[in-house]
Structure 1
């Protein structure tokens, strides 16, 4: 795990102190003393690789606690593996420490990273550390195993399939609104959903046996369901009246003067990190049916049976 020579202090000693314990003794990590790692093959399984980056002021608030930054970084990457029905086992970290991000902040980041890597059974295999004038930026490359030829892709949905989503939708977007002071969040539950999403790794077996296509809901339900439609060469009809909502989201919805606009906001806000998928027939346990796969090439959104125009279907990265 090479380090930037401009970092404060002895960067190699810091890597050994902060990050070597996070390897879990994985032999291919070589105690982070090399500039590469070896991933042994697991016969009968495919290696699934994904990578997500997070940037201060974009994916988390300026001034966020370093341990929470690290934990969100782990979770958003594992969410991608969850949607692929993969079992995570290892990762590579790249982090750019900004000016003013001192030893205490780096230690807190490493502590948060270690907490969640241990919680999800993932070993740190290598990476890189550099310095930057800002903002804070970090990325994780996450590795997982899935039985050969069983990874659930975005492509594969067929006309007549049911579109279903896990958990509840809209909490992540409302959580960001709570952090900015736009809406009330007395117990901090919504903010917690935004700060520390839960990757739905427990859905692995259901996805492997039932899902024809899947994606994690990071950019917004409408946008991410649309990715399935595009990859599969089909259209979708989504019924926002069927959205699964938490008590907090339903309470917010009940207080909005324009119910249609509010439902669209919940379905396009992003940061939910649930799984949307296409299945035949009724959805599996822990999923809610919210629409159907139809012929065509567009995503049709309905509220109270009427078509609703959705200009911004979710977060746009560019």
Structure 2
């Protein structure tokens, strides 16, 4: 099947249409309008077979995760996701694969109010690259550089499940069937906190999505804000499945440095606990206070165990080693 036939059959009119999309799929470029009082937020993520996902992973799971990791970037900025462009390297033109991928892509995109407005296809190894654009009220961004000494540190959802599932798939650990089945969805089908991100606008100092692990992304905040973070290990939000794994002799390190969580890590002035408790109930999202921001010291992210410095030494995830 030729490139233009693939685009016309499988990637036209996907997602939710927007009145501020002047020109979409089918021309040399898309045209969109940014309303007065808003800024455009742009991010891109690329997934490569054999590096970011296993060979043979279903097109449904690929479509879901590709959109989810990009939506999580919008969530971290507090932006309302609106448009995406998709570039695909395809090793074959399997029409059944394309149908399944595009149907799931359409479903997830519509659920989050996103419209596909352009892209590209080429022959080669399976590579999926998505550029996402959203709208943010001017001057309201939750940048990594705005954490302040004295702020409390919060985390949404649960962390560590995706990394724990990956250890099983890599053959590094032999998890029980119950634990593995409970943690696997976090790896393949992360749930981006888009609504929460928008509700955090005006309430928090800074925000980041947890893709590289708690230590790694915490270090990003610390470096760009010129501060240090103290995080209490015993306060980390871990799931019942992860707690069961710990009871069976497991390690907490996957919740600290594992990555692939796609939850929100954010800082806020002291005294916001009741605000976030109410927000958590309204959105049915777990929000946990896990530490505080301190003056910059020798360690960007200091782990505490019951208030005392932990001897745990973990490194952040790196894309290039």
| TM-score normalized by the length of structure 1 | 0.90
Q: Which of 87, 93, 100 is the aligned partner of 1:108?
A: 100
How many angstroms does 1:308 deviate by? Answer: 2.5
Structure 1 residues 288 and 31: alpha-carbon distance in aligned structure 2, compared to 1, 3 A threshold: closer
Instruction: Give the match for residue 201 of structure 1.
Output: 194
Cα distance in structure 1, aligned partners of 2:198 and 2:133:
18
Count of residues in Structure 1 that have an aligned counterpart in Structure 2 = 303
- Which one of the candidate residues 238, 250, 253 is aligned to 2:231? 238
C-alpha contact (below 8 Å) 2:3/2:122 kept by paired residues: no
* 29 and 252 in structure 1: CA distance in 2 versus 1, 3 angstrom threshold: farther
List alignment gaps of at least 5 residues for structure 2: 281-286
CA offset digits 1:235-254 (Å, max 9, x no partner): 11111111011111111112
Which residue of the partner structure matches residue 47 of structure 1? 40
Report if the CA contact (8 A) 1:165-1:275 is conserved: yes
Structure 2: distance between partners of 1:29 and 1:112: 25
1:45-76 residue CA offsets vs partner (Å, 9 max, x unmatched): 11111111111122222210012111100000
Report deviation, 1:43: 0.8
Q: Which runs of 4+ in 1 moved over 6 A?
A: none
> Aligned in 2, Cα 1:29/1:74: closer, same or farther, shift over 3 Å?
farther
Residue-by-residue CA offset, 1:189-234 (whole Å, 9 max, x unaligned): 2111110000001213442021101100011011111111111011
Can you list the C-alpha shifts for 1:114-137, whole angstroms capped at 9, x where unaligned? Answer: 1211111100011111111x2x11
- In the alignment, is the contact (CA less than 8 A) between 1:161 and 1:280 conserved in 2? yes
Asked if 1 retains the 8 angstrom alpha-carbon contact of 2:191 and 2:262, the reply is yes
Residue number in structure 1 paired with 2:257: 268
Query: Are the counterparts in 2 of residues 25 and 31 from structure 1 also a CA contact under 8 Å?
Result: no
TM-score by length of 2: 0.89
Q: What's the RMSD between the two structures over aligned residues?
A: 1.8
Question: Secondary structure of the equivalent of 1:127?
Answer: strand
Equivalence for 1:19: 11
Residue number in structure 1 paired with 2:284: none
Residue of structure 1 equivalent to 2:288: 288
Question: For residues 314 and 170 of structure 2, what CA distance do their matches in structure 1 show?
Answer: 23
